[in-house]
Every structure is written in C-alpha cells, then in structure tokens.
Structure 1
Amino acid sequence: MVRTLALLMIGLLPLSAGLKNLTMRDALGMLDKKNLEIRVSQYDEVMKKYDEIAVEGKNWGSASITIQALRSNDAGNVFGFKLQSREATFRDFGFRDFLGGISGLTGMVPYNQLGATLGNPAMQNRMLDVAPDDLNYPGARNHFLTKFHYEVPIYTGGKLSEYKKITQKLYEMSKLDTRKLRDEKIFQLKKAFYNITLVERYVTNLRKIRRNMLKLKKTILEMKKEGYTKKTDVLEIEARLAKVDSMLNQAKLNRTLAYQFLSFLLDTDVDSIRKVDLLIHAPKVTQADIERMNLDIQKAKMGLEVARHAIATEKANFLPMVGAFAEYGSADDHLWNDFAKKDFYTVGMQFKLNIFNGGSDKAKLEKARVRQMKVATQVELAKKGIALKVRKLETAIDSLEFDLRSEQKQLALAREIYRTYEAKYKEGLASITDVLIKQSAELQVLLEYLQVANRHSEKVFELEKILDMGGRS
C-alpha cells in the first residue's frame, strides 16, 4: 500500500511542478494565450465585432414567420375569421333571417301587392331592424393563421451606413484597448523578470558577503585563542551575521513574491527564470514616431472619426426614410389546410419625413458638432501630453543612466575599501568595528545601486509601453 502511494505521488510530481529556466522570450509568447485579463479584453473585441455585423445585417431587412392559433365566439372575430379564410357566405351576413322575413311577407300579401309592400318605408324599416341571429350569435370557431413578413429599408438618409462605420471604428478601438492592456502586461512581465534578476544578484552578493564574514569570524576566533582579539569582536561579527541573514531572508521572500506575481501574469506556475541582462537601452523617438506609435493618440484619432460619423447620423434625421414590406400567408380553421387555396399577400412601401419635432433634431445635430470639436481638441491634447510624458521619461532615463555609472564606481570603491580594512584588521591595524562599518557601507552602496537600476529599468519599460513597442514585437 505504501509503495503504491509512493508511486502515485511520484507520478503526480511533474503535474504540479512549475516552469523552470523560463526565458523572457518564451514568457512573452505565453502572455497572449495565458493571461486572463488579455483574454477578457479579446472577448470584448469579439463582442464589438458582432455589433458591427448586427448593424450590417440591418441593410438586408428582416423576415419573420408568425403562426397564431385562436378560438373565439365573439361575433366580430368569428366573422373576421371566416372572411380571412375565404369561407364567408350570405348566411354569415344574416341572410337566413332576411329571407325568412321575405317568405313570411309573401304568405301575408297577394303576389301582385308584394312590390308595393316592399317599397313601403315602414315595412322596409321593420325588415331592416331584424337582428340576424347567425351574424350576432355565431358558434365558436378555431382559427389558424400563418403569416410570412419581410421588410427592408430602401433609403435611410445614410444613417445605416454611418452606423456601420461607427461600429467598425468601435471595433478597431477595442483592438487598441487590447493592445494597450497587452503593453501593460508586457511592462509588468519585464519588470517581474528584471526584479527577479536584481533580487538574485542581491542574494548572490549577500551570500558572498556572508561567506566573507564567516571567514572573518573564523579568523577572529583563531586570533582570540592567541589573545589578539577581544570577546566583543566575536559578538560584533555574530550580530552583523544575524543582520545579513535577516536581509538574506527578506530578499528570498521578495523573490518568492516576484515569482508568484509572474505566475499570476502567465496563469502558470513558474519555478525559475533565465536571468536577463541588466543593461537596458532606451529607444530614441521623434515627435512623428510618438504620434504614429502611441495607442492613446491613435484611439483619440479614431474617436474623432466616430464623432464625424455621428454628425452624419444626426443629419439623416432631416432626410426621408423609405422602406418596403411584403406579407404572405393563409388562414383556416385547421392548421395549413388548403394553404394555397386560401392564401393572401400584401405588399407596400412607406415614405416618412420628419417635418417638425420642436427643434430636438437640430439640437442633437449641434450637440454632435460640438462633440466633434471637443474630440478634435482632445486629439491635440493627447499629442502634446504624450509627447511631454515621453520627454520627461527620456530625461529621467538619461539622469538615471548617469547615476548608474556613478553607483557602479561607488560600489567598486566600497568593495575595495572593505577588502583593505579586512586585511588591516588581520594585521592589527584596524578594529573589527572599522571593518564592519566598511562592510555596512558596501551593503548600503549595493542597495543604492540596485535601487537606481530598478528605477532605470522601470522608466525604460514605461517608455516602451507608451510607444507600444511590446505590441509591435
């Protein structure tokens, strides 16, 4: 039983293991397929495409079939049922009662006086006042009506074509939204790779420092045996080792969080990555490049086109609307009985022109024109605002690159000073406190260097995001 469970656990291990030695190129390739937010945005794209198709379908009109099953003893309904089924007879009009009156009158007056009697207004009114029982009190009747209806717009003043153009632009804008979201996720993914690489480098340096301190501790303990060091020297080095261990543990926790975030972005467990190059070069772009590449500017330009089409749709309210329809069907007291014999059709056209509606259409048109002016201004604002943001980022990147070169020199100097003081301590020319102070200075410079490198990479990745460079890869 134990062996079986062990084999089962071994079989499950590959299923739960995460990706190892993942490269950034592979991670970027996974992003489109695995990231859940991008997939949600892609679903929005598909829905916008169906909106476009739905508007296009309006040009082809609509067809429907209606089947009604009715039963009624209402006099008007029953008479209408029979008439629509082409089954109405003179009996249904009440002629039985009328003929009965004529027959009775014939038995009452001589034949040669019948004409004069029927011409008598009083007799006419009496006969016309008779309520026909067949017409007023018909028996209940079933009625099955099958009707095909088709209607199509012939002329809408261009409204449908403008709506189609608007939905096309909205679909294109939804694709830009997906690209912008993708750029954001690429930015986050690159930052995750870069942060993990920085943390790994930090951990490596901390471990190196820890190894040096352990060697120093060993030297201190050997010198203590010979009476060359004090007990406080041992306590100081142990306290400093505890501090380094704490920093090392915190760095490992940060690395774990970075891997968890990377796994979330890819919706896949990631155990390790291939470290990336920390030297990142920022792209150089012109104003024309910014306007061509930035998605916000492209979207604003599309919004301006939508505003123009919206004006055209409002103008259509001042033009006539022409449509046509056709209807074909059949009715009977049994479903589809003698369909062709009792069929009917109706065709027609409708012309509609709005003459007056209190000026509301005029107000809507003017509102659309003002909206276009607003969007045109927003396009110019986007161009200038994005350009300013790019220039600020470029300035910050240049400044951080200068700081990086300075921090690299400071780090090299701090390490050399530490090694010098470590050697002096072994020769008895410096105290352990001096050595640890220099070692703390090396750690501080290392942290500052990594922080500057982190800010530099973030600015470069942000610039790439603004220029949609991830979306063009």
Structure 2
Amino acid sequence: MRVKTIVATLACTLSAITVQAQGPRYISVDEAVTIALQNNSNIKMSKLDEKTANANYHQTDAIFLPQISVGYTAFSTNNPLNAFGFLLQQESVTAMDFDPEKLNNPGSTQNYSTQVEAKLPLFNLDMIYARKGAKAQEEMYKYKTERTEEYIEFEVCKAYAQLQMSYQARDILQKSLEDVEQIHQSVTNFYNQGLIQKSDVLNAQVQVNTIEAALAKAESNIHNASDGLRLIMGMENEREVFVTDSLQQKMALHQTQTLSSYRSDIMALNKAVDATNMMVKSSKMAFLPRINAFGTYNLNDDKAFKFRNDSYLVGIQLSWTIFSGNQNRSKIKSSQFQRDKMQEELNLHIKQSQLDLDKTKRDLNDSQIEINKQKTSVEQADEALRILGNRHREGLASTTDLLMAQAQLSQQRLLLAQTIMSYNITEAYWHFLTKTE
C-alpha cells in the first residue's frame, strides 16, 4: 500500500504542472523574452493606452494655436431690417433704396455669405495647468507600459521554468521506468526459479503500469507548458514544441537590494498624483479672467458662388466668470479629493511592495534551505535503493521494500526539481520587484 501511495503522489504532483507543444525547437529564455516584448498582447494594449494619452495631450495644443473655420451661407428674406443689411454688406446701396415704400416692403432679398473666422487664445491659465496635467498623464502611461513589459518578462521566466520542470519530470520518470522494469525483470526471474511468490511479480507490474501512465501525463504537460509559453510570447498560431535549457538553480546575487522609488509602477503613480495636482491648480485658475483674440473675414454677394464685397472684424475679448453657481468651487474640491486618493494609493502601493519584497527574500532563503535538504534526501534515497537492491538480489529484502525504495527515490528527485523550479520563479519575481528605471 505504501508503494502505491508514493507512486500515486508522484503522478498527482506531475498533473499539477501546466504549460504545451509539437516538433521540438530549442529556445532560450532570453529569446523568449525578446519575442514576448515584441508580440505580447498586453504590451500592445498598454502601448495603445500610451498613444491615446499622447493624443489627449496634443489636444491641449489648442491653448496656443488658433482655431480657424470657414463657412458658406445662403440667405433669403423679406424682413426690412435684414434686407437693408444685406444691401449694406453687399456694398450695393443706392439712393433708390431709401425710398420708404421699398424700405418697408423690400420683397425677397438674397445674400450669399462666405465667412472665415479665427480665434486665438492669449491668456488662459486654467488651460495651461490642464495641459501640464495631460502631460503628466502621458508620462504615467509610459511608465505603465514599462512596468507591463517588466511583468511580461517575469511571466516568460515563470512559464519557461515550468516548461523546464516538465522536461525534468519526464526525464525522472523515464529513469524511474528503467529502474522498475529492471526490478520487474529480476522479480520475474526469481519467480521462474520458484524463489518468490507471484504477488511480487504483480506488484512490480503494477508499478510499471503506474509509471508508464505518469510518463504519458508528463509528455502532455510538456505540450501544455509549450502552449502556455507560446501564448505569453504572442505566437498563438504555431504548434511546435519548445525545447529548453536543463533545469538548474539560478542564484539571486542581489538580495541586499531595497525597494527603489524609481521603479516604473511607483513612478507611474507619482505621475498620476502630479496629474491630479495639476487639475486642482487648473480648477483654481478658472476663477481668473480669460483673454482671447478673434477675427472674421466676410465676402457677400447677391449671386450664388460669387465672392465680392469683403469686410473684416477683429478684436480682443476679456471675459471673467464672477460666479458659476458654485460649479468651479465644487470642481476644485472634487479634484482635491481625487489627488488625495491618488496619494493614498501611492502610499499603500509602496507599503505593499515593501511587504512583497521582504516576503520574497524570505521565500528565497526558505527555498534554498529546502533545496539543500532535498539534495540530501535524494542522496539518502539513492543509497537506500542501492542497499535494498543488493539485499534483494541476495534474497534478504522483499520486493515490496525494493519497489517502495525506488518510488521514494523518484519522488525525492521530483520534489528537488520542483523546489528548484520554485526557487527560480521566486528569483525572477525578486528581479521584477527590484527592477529600476
């Protein structure tokens, strides 16, 4: 029963590993990262957000550049005032037009007007600060894109480590299958010689079958792991299996690093705080007067698509909204609350990041201790199997004990590989947490 339990545990552990593939192709982790940075959908979406923020920022160019519009309008009226005004605009007034009868009953009068209108902002402090806020928001999205790229790099390293583990598990099972087949052959020979019972042969065959099933599962896990890596790399349409470097422990060489205020996600939140602060200032500046220049140029004629009799109008306007029904005052408060919220979010994020950093450092130390213990366990299990193998050949150890020792060795090898994979993923996460600009 203990043999079956250990082998079942081995099979269940393997089934927990996920990631896919077909037709082996070697890929290094650096190559996988490079491809992911070019093709990953999350990075593409983040860059689109960045471009959107850039476009929003350039919308504020309007506070410096003129606004020019052109219009063409056709009028027809019998209104005495408008009819006489049309004549003045067309510069076609004659003495006969002052006849009271004609003034009072002008009949149908047409005017075809072409107008070019221009507006030029001169002094709008609220828009100046709104532009600065839009610039800060654009920079925020740049940092968010950078952090997204760093996160995808971590995800690639994680998926790559899982694929390495899948190959390592398959190799361990293949070696285990070879050992169990040798045991099965040896037990069969003993049975043929009448030295042991048939139950020993059956127990050996059961373990061969169990490992063969686990080996098939391991092959599927390799395909699953390759598919997961491919998805992160943005290569969904390909179906080839990736071959990786062998699973080895990576050493974290910079565990003395501290949380940097220049990390991209922290910089992004800082820029978000700056943006909301600029919006507060913009709302306050809305209480100040605005100065804008304007001008129009007109062409009027009594015939369609004729362009004669020009005129212009230019001026400077000072406007000052003294009271807006508390709209500006409430807008200032809303902007201040939003700024305070962003500041609290920044403070909380820094605290959480520091906790993650401290926890990851402890996890690395714990994983290192576990690796050392697992290496010792593998050596001890290997020695135990060697001793029981010798005793079994001499008829001094049971087949069940030998099978149990072999299953225990395979389990310890797999646990060591899993611990190394976990350590490498934690090390990649440590690198992600301590990343700076």
- Comparing both chains, which one has the higher relative contact order based on Cα–Cα distances under 8 Å and sequence gaps of 6 or more? 2
One-letter amino acid of the counterpart of residue 277, structure 2 = R
Of 411, 419, 424 in structure 1, the residue corresponding to residue 386 of structure 2 is: 419
Matched with 1:403 is: 370
Residues 74 and 415 of structure 1, relative CA distance in 2, 3 Å threshold:
farther
Between the aligned partners of 2:256 and 2:122, the Cα distance in structure 1 is 49
SS of 1:211's partner is helix
Within a 5 Å distance, the mapping from 1:140-289 to structure 2 comes to: 141=110, 143-156=111-124, 158-268=125-235, 269=238, 270-275=240-245, 277-282=247-252, 284=254, 289=258
State whether structure 2 residue 290 is matched by structure 1 residue 321: yes
Residues 443 and 68 of structure 1, relative CA distance in 2, 3 Å threshold:
same
Asked if the contact 2:298/2:311 (under 8 Å) is kept, the reply is yes
Q: For 1:164-215, what per-residue CA distance to the aligned partner results, in whole angstroms no more than 9, with x for missing partners? A: 2111111111112212222221122111111111111111111011011112
Between the aligned partners of 2:351 and 2:245, the Cα distance in structure 1 is 37
* More moved, 46-55 vs 268-277: 268-277
SS of 2:207's partner is helix
Between the aligned partners of 1:283 and 1:57, the Cα distance in structure 2 is 52
Structure 2 unaligned blocks of 5 or more: 1-20
Between the aligned partners of 2:57 and 2:411, the Cα distance in structure 1 is 59
State whether structure 2 residue 32 is matched by structure 1 residue 27: yes
Between the aligned partners of 1:294 and 1:239, the Cα distance in structure 2 is 55
Structure 1 unaligned blocks of 5 or more: 1-15, 99-131
SS of 2:215's partner is helix
Asked if the contact 1:194/1:276 (under 8 Å) is kept, the reply is no
Asked if the contact 2:180/2:403 (under 8 Å) is kept, the reply is no
Moved over 6 A (4+): 16-19
Between the aligned partners of 1:205 and 1:76, the Cα distance in structure 2 is 100
Residues 301 and 139 of structure 1, relative CA distance in 2, 3 Å threshold:
closer
* More moved, 160-169 vs 363-372: 363-372
Between Structure 1 and Structure 2, how many residues are aligned? 414
SS of 1:465's partner is helix
Between the aligned partners of 1:331 and 1:375, the Cα distance in structure 2 is 56
| CA positional deviation for 1:360 | 3.7
**TM-score normalized by the length of structure 2:** 0.87
Between the aligned partners of 1:239 and 1:313, the Cα distance in structure 2 is 77
Aligned-pair RMSD on alpha carbons? 2.5
**TM-score normalized by the length of structure 1:** 0.81
Within a 5 Å distance, the mapping from 1:46-85 to structure 2 comes to: 46-72=51-77, 77-85=82-90
| CA positional deviation for 1:90 | 4.2
Between the aligned partners of 2:301 and 2:316, the Cα distance in structure 1 is 28
Asked if the contact 2:144/2:265 (under 8 Å) is kept, the reply is no
Between the aligned partners of 1:385 and 1:395, the Cα distance in structure 2 is 15
Between the aligned partners of 2:94 and 2:103, the Cα distance in structure 1 is 11
Identical amino acids, percent of aligned pairs? 21
* More moved, 316-325 vs 363-372: 363-372
Of 318, 338, 356 in structure 2, the residue corresponding to residue 351 of structure 1 is: 318
* More moved, 164-173 vs 62-71: 62-71
Asked if the contact 1:283/1:464 (under 8 Å) is kept, the reply is no
Q: For 1:81-104, what per-residue CA distance to the aligned partner results, in whole angstroms no more than 9, with x for missing partners? A: 3332222334444x1xx5xxxxxx
| CA positional deviation for 1:284 | 3.2
One-letter amino acid of the counterpart of residue 254, structure 2 = K
* More moved, 364-373 vs 322-331: 364-373
SS of 1:355's partner is coil
Matched with 1:86 is: 91
Within a 5 Å distance, the mapping from 1:285-300 to structure 2 comes to: 289-300=258-269
SS of 1:188's partner is helix
* More moved, 366-375 vs 199-208: 366-375
